[in-house]
Amino acid sequence: MPSLGPGNHLLRYDQAGTTVNLVPDGGNVWIDVNCMRKNLNYTVRYPSSAPSGRIVVLDAGPFGKFSDTNTRGLTLKHGQSITFKRTGRETYDVVSVGGVSGLQGRSSSFNIAPVRILIVGQSLGAEWEHSPAVQEFIDKLDELHALAGTTRPAISFVHKCTGGSAALKEYRPDSTRYWWDYDANASGPMNSAACSEIGGMSSGEKPTHVFWIQGEQDGGVYDGGTEAEDAEFQERYARAVTMVLKIIRGTINSADRYSIPAFIQILGTRASGERRGMPIVRLAQYDVINTPDINVNLGAINPMDLPLEDDVHPTDSGYGILGGLWGDAFFVAT
């Protein structure tokens, strides 16, 4: 039976069906639950054998809510266990309460992780909400910090990805799922919505780092056929990503947007084969990364032989590989 001691923790995606003891034997325990699989039961317990009088809290993140109390968190009572599950992107339902009856809602967490990572883009980023990517990212950082003789900071995540969303408006002409309108030089609905929610965060909750994980939509839909069209597409995609990351980081810190490091995951391939736009998207991504003085860094380089479960989405093992590669990139850059 796993146990977590004082400090900040992420509930691991593979701890479903087990009981995790939260043991505040030297201080409070805070556990972030917004990177777990949907519709699976997770059980946590504040054991009656553990010291009493300390705080043990489950935090659903700045936008999450436990529907039973309509608050973003739950404080466990001494001797109490709670089984709950994630029923929506940011909704959590308590299945049962054991040991001590009643629920104590919490409107905000008592502790804030010093590293708060915002993930924006499309479905490959959204899958970080409930895939092995987060777990392998954290495990890789633990390994690298141990080798360096340092301690990994506590990390939390904010997810603002939308499946199938395009960087550029012209590659989602049938919907509002796009991040940038190049011709109007304006944010698309995805960027505006993300910034609106970021703007509503308290200063201590706002992200400290941004991951951009996107490119499948634009790279797969683009069907230009000339070198001039390719060059224009490359410039437009690079401009879109640059502006999205600029505006998001300005929303986080209007006084010094470039103090917020941003990272880009390099586009992988499709099981159905390379599309003409995909290598151009990669070139555009490197163009953004190589732009001086805007603090955009290289994230994971998506392996071309990454195991896929469908045309674009990795298997669980594939997400684990990507999470480890992100850990390498993040450690080097920070």
User: What's the rounded Cα separation, in Å, for the pair 299 and 326?
Assistant: 6
pLDDT, one tens digit per residue, over 80-113 is 999 999 999 999 999 999 999 999 999 887 778 9
| Domains and their CATH numbers in the chain | 3-106 (2.60.120.640), 115-333 (3.40.50.1110)
- 314 in helix, strand or coil? strand
| DSSP assignment letter at 312 | S
Bridge-based pairing state of the strands 104-106 and 73-75? antiparallel
Please identify which residue in the block is written with the tokens 């990351």. Answer: 245
Q: Are 82 and 74 in contact (CB under 8 A)?
A: yes
Closest Cα to residue 211, out of 147, 151, 124? Answer: 124
pLDDT, one tens digit per residue, over 259-288 is 999 999 999 999 999 999 999 999 999 999
Give the per-residue pLDDT at 262: 98
Question: If pLDDT is split at 50, 70 and 90, which confidence band does 225 have?
Answer: confident
Q: Are 267 and 238 in contact (CB under 8 A)?
A: no
Q: pTM for this one?
A: 0.96
The residue type at 25 = D
| Alpha helices per DSSP H over the chain | 123-126, 132-148, 189-199, 216-221, 227-252, 277-289, 316-333
User: Residues with Cβ < 8 Å from 43, sequence gap 6 or more?
Assistant: 18, 19, 20, 81, 82, 83, 84
Q: Radius of gyration (Cα) for the chain, nearest Å?
A: 21
Q: Using the predicted structure, report yes or no on whether residue 320 has a pLDDT greater than 90.
A: yes
Q: What is the mean pLDDT of residues 169-191?
A: 97
